[in-house]
Amino acid sequence: MPPVTSPPLGGHSLLIFLVETVALLGTALLLGRLAERLKLPAVAGELCAGILLGPSALGRLAPGLFRWLHTSTAAQMHLLDAIGQIGVILLVGVTALEIDLGLVRRTARVSLGVGALGLLIPLAFGVAAGFAAPSILRPAGREPALFALFVGVAMGVSALPVIGKMLSDMRLLHRDIGQLTVATGVVDDIVGWMLLSVVAAAAAGALGPGAVVKPVCWLMVITALAALIGRPAARALMNRTSSPQGAVAVAAVLILGCATATLAVGLEASFGALLGGLLVGACRGATAAKLAPLRCVTLSVLAPLYFAEAGLRMDLGVLARPAVALAAAAALAAATLGKFAGAFLGARLVGLDRRAAMVLGAGLNARGVIQIIVAGVGLQLGVLNTAAYTVLVMIAIATSLMAPPVLRRAVAGIEVTEQERVRGERAGQLIGVS
């Protein structure tokens, strides 16, 4: 085998990469702290960091600095994107670590009921909004139905990583209603990845029975392998690891390995990360103390960098056009109303009270990661143009900003049970809503 002859990154390229990383991460952390002072979760500020350093702000205020910082080579941008992808994979895995599978099983009927209506109603709203969108948002030569389907999928899904981090920031992740929100988000997440696979196949001209059957078959195969082989293997590895360093390394390898497996068979990497996190979280050796370093680095460094990097690809300047601005406002209203109404109605139909239904509606309304990924796939395949991509990412950020105030008001009236308090103390996190 010939040796690798590619020279290592160095000199000017390394300088720009480090400056860009420091700028994005530093801005994300500062805006995250500011968001916390405004009684918003840190993720709300982190999502805005890329906008500030992207073409929307820095590109207009200091175009020379913007070009030096962001437009050197595509390969260099891919370095930052690779770090962001590692961050979002580990973020999904860390979120899954804290899912109470017993509670998920006990609330399966509720999660499926809420998840179904919480996905179908905004999906229908999104498809309608896609058909009604002005021509300025549609790339030339693409079928209106395909564009509408992409918009519908983007509006219908929720974002488990954003939901998990938002609930964690608000210290709600270990409460029953927080766990139920995550469990319902899991349903939306899985269906969302499946829908993305189908619409991507349609955009590539490969839509057919196989585009639907193949992902579903692989989903069942991967899930079965995780339960039959992955679970005992994860237990053997984690239970024999005594040090936090070893536990963090094993957990990271399992999460990244599962993400690699699902990506290799055509499913999204985040679904594999979800499975990997569930496998690790089910091990007795995966204590909160052992895995605290992984959680800390992921939530404090890698996840903020990913959220900031996503904003670099959008340009809010397109909203200066009246047609785009009106379409964006209408799309945001349709997305919010559809998701909240769907989750609220689903929760009420399965017997939850009004406050719990409001919590689910507000929590699931946060789109974040998946909507950004769907928009990115659409942009890459030519189904979306820059204006439509900006509108969809703007909706992802806006819905993530909307959720915390409504969550805080709704949860304030739900008493903390002793079981919730014990669960939070075991995980090293206080229960609260601040």
Tell me whether residue 53 is in a domain: no
Tell me whether residue 381 is in a domain: yes
pLDDT of residue 247: 87
Tell me whether residue 211 is in a domain: yes
- Whole-prediction pTM value? 0.77
Q: pLDDT tens digit string along 82-98?
A: 888 898 889 888 878 87
Percent of the chain past pLDDT 90, that is, above it, reads 8
Q: What is the DSSP string of 148-175?
A: HHHHHHHHH---HHHHHHHHHHTT-TTS
Tokens 């053997």 locate to 236
Q: What letter represents residue 254's amino acid?
A: L
Tell me whether residue 125 is in a domain: yes
Alpha-carbon distance of 76 to 395, in angstroms, equals 28
Percent of the chain past pLDDT 70, that is, above it, reads 86
Q: What is the DSSP string of 343-407?
A: HHHHHHHTT--HHHHHHHHHHHT--THHHHHHHHHHHHHTSS-HHHHHHHHHHHHHHHHHHHHHH
Tell me whether residue 281 is in a domain: yes
Cβ contact 24:45 at 8 Å: no
Tell me whether residue 11 is in a domain: no
Q: What letter represents residue 341's amino acid?
A: A
Per-residue DSSP letter, 301: I
Which ranges of 157-243 would DSSP assign to H, the alpha helix? 160-169, 176-203, 209-225, 231-239
Q: pLDDT tens digit string along 104-158?
A: 777 788 888 888 888 889 999 999 998 988 888 888 777 888 888 888 888 888 7
The neighbour count for residue 206, using CB atoms within 10 Å, is 10
pLDDT of residue 252: 93
Task: Please state, in angstroms and as integers, the Cα–Cα distance from residue 153 to each residue in 119, 143, 327, following that order.
Answer: 9, 16, 17
Q: Is the pLDDT of residue 406 over 60?
A: yes
pLDDT of residue 422: 63
The neighbour count for residue 55, using CB atoms within 10 Å, is 22
pLDDT of residue 8: 63
Which of the pair, 429 or 7, is modelled with greater confidence? Answer: 7
Q: Band the pLDDT of 315: cuts 50, 70, 90.
A: confident
Alpha-carbon distance of 95 to 294, in angstroms, equals 11
As for how many domains the chain has, the answer is 1
pLDDT of residue 260: 92
pLDDT of residue 434: 46
Alpha-carbon distance of 198 to 176, in angstroms, equals 33
Residue 238 DSSP SS3: helix
Q: Containing H/E element for 29?
A: helix 11-37
For the chain, what is the mean pLDDT?
A: 80
Q: What letter represents residue 256's amino acid?
A: L
Long-range contact set of residues 420-427: C-beta below 8 Å, sequence gap at least 24: 420/174, 420/175, 420/176, 423/100, 423/174, 424/171, 424/174, 424/175, 426/288, 427/98, 427/174, 427/288
Cβ contact 45:33 at 8 Å: yes
Q: Provide the CATH number for the domain around residue 148.
A: 1.20.1530.20
Tell me whether residue 261 is in a domain: yes
Question: What sign does the CA torsion over 177, 308, 252, 257 have?
Answer: positive
Highest mean pLDDT among 62-76, 93-107, 268-282: 268-282
Tell me whether residue 147 is in a domain: yes
**Span 348-361, average pLDDT:** 87
> What is the domain range of residue 340?
81-424
Alpha-carbon distance of 396 to 368, in angstroms, equals 5
Q: Band the pLDDT of 427: cuts 50, 70, 90.
A: low
Q: pLDDT tens digit string along 6-57?
A: 566 666 777 888 888 899 999 999 998 898 788 776 777 887 888 888 888 8
Task: Please state, in angstroms and as integers, the Cα–Cα distance from residue 115 to each residue in 53, 157, 215, 219, following that order.
Answer: 35, 10, 20, 18
Q: Measure CA of the first residue to CA of the last residue in the chain; give whole Å.
A: 57
Q: Is the pLDDT of residue 257 over 90?
A: yes
Q: Band the pLDDT of 395: cuts 50, 70, 90.
A: confident
